[in-house]
Structure 1
């Protein structure tokens, strides 16, 4: 079954919003009130109620009106506390981290609990009536449920107060962003759009020079809108390519910014397709937004952690311990990534025909996104630079090929050079030299081992440099 990535993206955005869960709770409060009132009026005359469950019309009205008014007041207090926390978090750690704070489930359910209780009480209050001097239509069970909802909401409020003091702490924010990064890696690597070609496919089912040349000279498809690519419907594009018997190359990937009329695809085929319909179909497979999303963009969460670390190392904040927390989480994520198979750039249909050529994410791109900026700012702190080296050593224990080893050593060498140029105390620099020596000793055997993989980061880097120098041949694919 093909999963519509656009709907999944919308679902993610709804779940991560501050309004989705409270609205669900509000609707749940209305439904609960209807169910309880129906129960009351169906069974009230059939049961003899205990004394502690019975109430009067005036008592029920007083209880329900007090609960509904009090709950709405507390909702305002909870929202105020939430806004203050978001403001402090944004000013101290940057606006990028607000995405993880807004979608905090405890905050959403706390607001929802009070709104649901208030609405429940209002609906039940409407049905409490008095005719003359006779009590009539008193929903005893419904009033008791309102009291139970109120007690539960107060317990939730106590937990919320504890929780709101915790989530503003740097380690909690870093852990939340790292959790998003881990989930993103698990989803994206390996990313399967179509069937990757088996290594034993005959030459006729592998990408040929003619196919490379055809894609290079393919019909360009332009973007009809502007924004960051949040998701791409890979399965939809694969089905479109099979239906039209064409090959599609995607030079952009999730996380990239698109301006209007930017090239988003190259289509090579028999030339009989309606270009207008093809442009609409391919544009429809791209979902754009005002910000990046971690669903298909692993670097989204990486950049959020990197921003926290860079901000913590700025002279105005000078918080190296937060930077250390970010480095630890990033190195753990790179360890996980190093153990995974990188997705292939070429995607084939079930018959072995080339259909999609994508700009894939790689270990190298994530490594650069994670440590390039941090490394530059960390040169002023030997403690943070040493933790960077420890992170590289941790990653080195999980790398499995020569190109990953080269990427790790490259970052380590630049880190060492930056600290050396900053002229720190010789004893601190000596520690970094010792760490670099251990790292080099650990990774050199991998660099001398033949690499069976053909889809790694170093190859992409070489291809990109070749393309920029104008020496690319028909064998190079974006």
Structure 2
């Protein structure tokens, strides 16, 4: 029952590991080395060597020296580069957030560089062991292979310079935040585009649907929607995912609902459950919520006493406000189609706007509530969201409910008159957007302490 899901989980773990692309490139270089040796002494290659004689090695000693030097040097570059990767991951975990590590590990450019190093080493060693004496006491020198090894060595030096430049940029907090912001915004826009393409005005009453229990425990991280929609279309079935992505489920938890009773169709239930993904890591490509969480945690980390970087916290807060504004364009119930169908087959429970506010701003509010600079910028972020969401009654209600909690914290923690004046100015700006509710916030802020 669990074999297909186990295979899918192992596949995802494999392709997201730091050694996946390096291993693939090493195999490619190994095959290229075999191919080079298979044509090294062909007649057309011998003719070609006459035109390239100026850059080819004709001495056994020189060939061995060049290949040995290249292999040893690239091994040194590889060791240093892997050490740099470990330092970056350790620094990112300590100063940013452990949740950003999967994104850094799976950065394709770094893996490609490391893979090129490994492949160059393998290629040079294969060429080295093919320098041998023949029966007529002549020495077979793979001159073309040595030339390729030399070219790969020079490329490795250039890639090493690129790697140092790239890895130093990757750990800079501004670059990490910008990457998270762009990636998260792109995922949100993709959902918006899909919903605009297939608009659904009326949703079924999911309370009348039949529950399907989870057969495994773990964090629900996603679904193979194309595969699942194909199964649903085949059996004329609709499915609703009750829980949010990232929700921890246990065996027997009713996390799905189907449009018809499947209690007598265990094989179909098994086929449906095998389309769902459970694992620990958080990748933004699975859901934009993880991007918001990582940005929020970087803001919290920036406010810790050991780092004390309110500027980074403010930048993260501004990014969160822009992403939440984009989130307002997404319906609370998401859906997926099969290309040939005109009605949704799969419905997903989106994380509500209220939940996103709570999950991403509560840690910031708790850690920064005594910092007037950061809290003023939190109020400004809410003002910007209100400006866009003023016509959205549910979002406006959620924003003002949360603003009440923010004002209560500010009243308890910030007593300096200058700081309170700045807060008052920000509340006046909010009042100009929503007069009635803004006045209530001002009254609450200016009320005498109990």
| TM bucket normalised to smaller | 0.7 to 0.9
Q: Distance in 1 between matches of 2:84 and 2:314?
A: 29
Aligned residue number for residue 421 of structure 2? 430
Select 1:128's aligned residue among 112, 131, 141. 131
Greater CA drift, 6-15 or 37-46: 6-15
Instruction: Map Cα deviations across residues 339-393 of structure 1 (whole Å, 9 max, x no partner).
Output: x342645778888778555322343333333222212222111111122223233
Greater CA drift, 108-117 or 36-45: 36-45
1:198-217 to 2 correspondences below 5 Å = 199=201, 214-215=208-209
1:380-459 to 2 correspondences below 5 Å = 380-399=370-389, 401-443=392-434
Q: Distance in 2 between matches of 1:382 and 1:40?
A: 72
1:287 equivalent to 2:281? Answer no
CA contact (8 A) 2:218 2:249 kept: yes
Select 1:227's aligned residue among 204, 218, 225. 218
Instruction: Map Cα deviations across residues 23-66 of structure 1 (whole Å, 9 max, x no partner).
Output: 12212212332343345323343242433334312211221122
1:152-191 to 2 correspondences below 5 Å = 152-189=155-192
Q: Distance in 2 between matches of 1:355 and 1:131?
A: 69
Distance change >3 Å, CA 35–CA 260, structure 1 → 2: same
1:49-448 to 2 correspondences below 5 Å = 49-131=52-134, 135-189=138-192, 196-197=199-200, 199=201, 214-215=208-209, 218=210, 220-269=211-260, 271=261, 274-338=264-328, 340-342=329-331, 344=333, 356-399=346-389, 401-443=392-434
Aligned residue number for residue 445 of structure 2? none
Instruction: Map Cα deviations across residues 311-346 of structure 1 (whole Å, 9 max, x no partner).
Output: 2223343332221232122223223333x3426457
CA contact (8 A) 2:134 2:140 kept: no
Distance change >3 Å, CA 27–CA 240, structure 1 → 2: closer
Instruction: Map Cα deviations across residues 433-472 of structure 1 (whole Å, 9 max, x no partner).
Output: 211221332256999xxxxxxxxxxxxxxxxxxxxxxxxx
CA contact (8 A) 1:228 1:292 kept: no
Q: Distance in 2 between matches of 1:188 and 1:328?
A: 22
Distance change >3 Å, CA 296–CA 169, structure 1 → 2: closer
CA contact (8 A) 1:196 1:344 kept: no
CA contact (8 A) 2:103 2:283 kept: no
Greater CA drift, 315-324 or 58-67: 315-324
CA RMSD between the two structures: 3.5
SS of 1:23's partner is helix
Instruction: Map Cα deviations across residues 229-286 of structure 1 (whole Å, 9 max, x no partner).
Output: 12123444444444444553321232111112211223342x5762422431231121
Q: Distance in 1 between matches of 2:23 and 2:268?
A: 39
Instruction: Map Cα deviations across residues 79-116 of structure 1 (whole Å, 9 max, x no partner).
Output: 12221221222122232121122123343222112111
Q: Distance in 1 between matches of 2:53 and 2:289?
A: 61
Aligned residue number for residue 473 of structure 1? none
Q: Distance in 2 between matches of 1:76 and 1:317?
A: 30
1:28 equivalent to 2:18? Answer no
Q: Hey, which of these two has a bigger chunk of helix by percent? A: 2
Distance change >3 Å, CA 357–CA 96, structure 1 → 2: closer
CA contact (8 A) 1:229 1:292 kept: no
Aligned residue number for residue 462 of structure 1? none
CA contact (8 A) 2:372 2:414 kept: no
1:37 equivalent to 2:37? Answer yes
SS of 2:40's partner is helix
Instruction: Map Cα deviations across residues 129-155 of structure 1 (whole Å, 9 max, x no partner).
Output: 223785443222221121111111112
How many residues of Structure 1 are paired with residues of Structure 2 in the alignment?
430
Q: Distance in 1 between matches of 2:175 and 2:344?
A: 45
Q: Distance in 1 between matches of 2:266 and 2:157?
A: 59
TM-score (norm 2): 0.83
CA contact (8 A) 1:320 1:384 kept: yes
Q: Distance in 2 between matches of 1:183 and 1:207?
A: 26
CA contact (8 A) 1:193 1:235 kept: no
What's the CA shift for 1:8? 9.6
Q: Distance in 2 between matches of 1:249 and 1:437?
A: 43
CA contact (8 A) 1:229 1:257 kept: yes
Structure 2 unaligned segments of length 5 or more: list them: 439-450
